[in-house]
Amino acid sequence: MTRPADAPYHRDMQASDDRALADAIRRHEERLARDSDSLAFAQLADLYRKAGRTGDAIMCAREGLRRWPHYTTARLILAKTLLAEGQLDAALGELTAILQTSPKDVQCQRLAAEVHRRAGRLDAAVGHLEKAVGLDPGDRESKALLSLLRADAVVAGDGAGLARILGDDTFATLSFGTLCLEQGLAEEAALVLNRVVRRAPDNAEARERLEAALRARSRRRG
């Protein structure tokens, strides 16, 4: 836990970072103003995204892509921004455009998996994760997500106790998944909620709880 005496230091560091980001944005805006055909639009869009100016990031990226439609980096930045805004279909459209010409782009495969997962299309998410792992066997995070999101996912262990409960469809409910999450059992919650979302992909609350479980699991794993 941060000690109260450290708070001014961290505020100063944050203020310094914010100034550096603002300065970088200004420099790139000036550069783009001097040369509207510059590829610097992608960097500027990414800086806008990092500054939380997602509307500016989307506009900047789209305007630049009209001039440079094959600039994959800019399209990826646009996809990330759209995803952050919850515009899942639009983000997937950008990622699909990249994967059509660069199917071995691991980052795009991972992001496509996230888009499908957040939309409740878990089989499609698994397909992209399998491709990501095939392209990068050392991708431990994608492997871990695969183990949780497959239709036949099971809790690790010897099959006793909680493992047996999780294997019983009676307990594959939103309320039980939520209870697991509240008790700090993030991985078990993800397994339960995975099954709930598979049964009811349009259940927005179940999808949100699954995302919460995955985030909690990621934090726990560090």
pLDDT in tens, 145-179: 999 999 888 765 544 556 667 767 788 999 999 99
Is 88 in the same domain as 45? yes
Rounded to 5 degrees, what angle do the CA atoms 128, 134, 136 make?
100
Q: Considering the domain boundaries, does residue 208 fall inside one?
A: yes
Instruction: Give 27-81 as a DSSP string.
Output: HHHHHHHH-TT-THHHHHHHHHHHTT-HHHHHHHHHHHHHH-TT-HHHHHHHHHH
Q: Could you tell me if 135 and 178 lie in one domain?
A: no
Closest Cα partner for 144 from 110, 178, 180, 120?
Answer: 110
Alpha carbon distance 188, 180 (integer Å): 7
What CA–CA distance (Å, rounded) separates 214 from 69? 34
For a pLDDT cut of 90, what percent of the chain falls above it?
A: 77
Q: Is residue 9 part of a domain?
A: no
The encoded tokens of residue 172 equal 């594959």
Backbone angles phi, psi at 71, to 5 degrees: -85, 95
Please tell me whether residues 108 and 143 are part of one structural domain.
Answer: yes
Asked if the model's pLDDT at residue 182 lies above 70, the reply is: yes
Tell me which residue range forms the domain holding 131.
103-150
Task: Note whether residue 16 is domain-resident.
Answer: no
Q: Are residues 25 and 89 in the same domain?
A: yes
Residue 29 lies in a domain: yes
Are residues 82 and 110 both part of a single domain? no
222: in domain: yes
In the predicted model, what is the mean pLDDT of residues 131-157? 89
In a domain, 196, yes or no: yes
Percent of the chain past pLDDT 70, that is, above it, reads 88
pTM of the model: 0.84
Residues 171-188, mean pLDDT to the nearest whole number: 92
How many structural domains is the chain composed of?
Answer: 3
Are residues 159 and 200 both part of a single domain?
yes
| 79 in a structural domain | yes
2 in a domain, yes or no? Answer: no
The predicted model gives 48-55 an average pLDDT of: 95
Domain end marker among 150, 180, 213: 150
Cβ atoms < 10 Å from Cβ of 67: 13
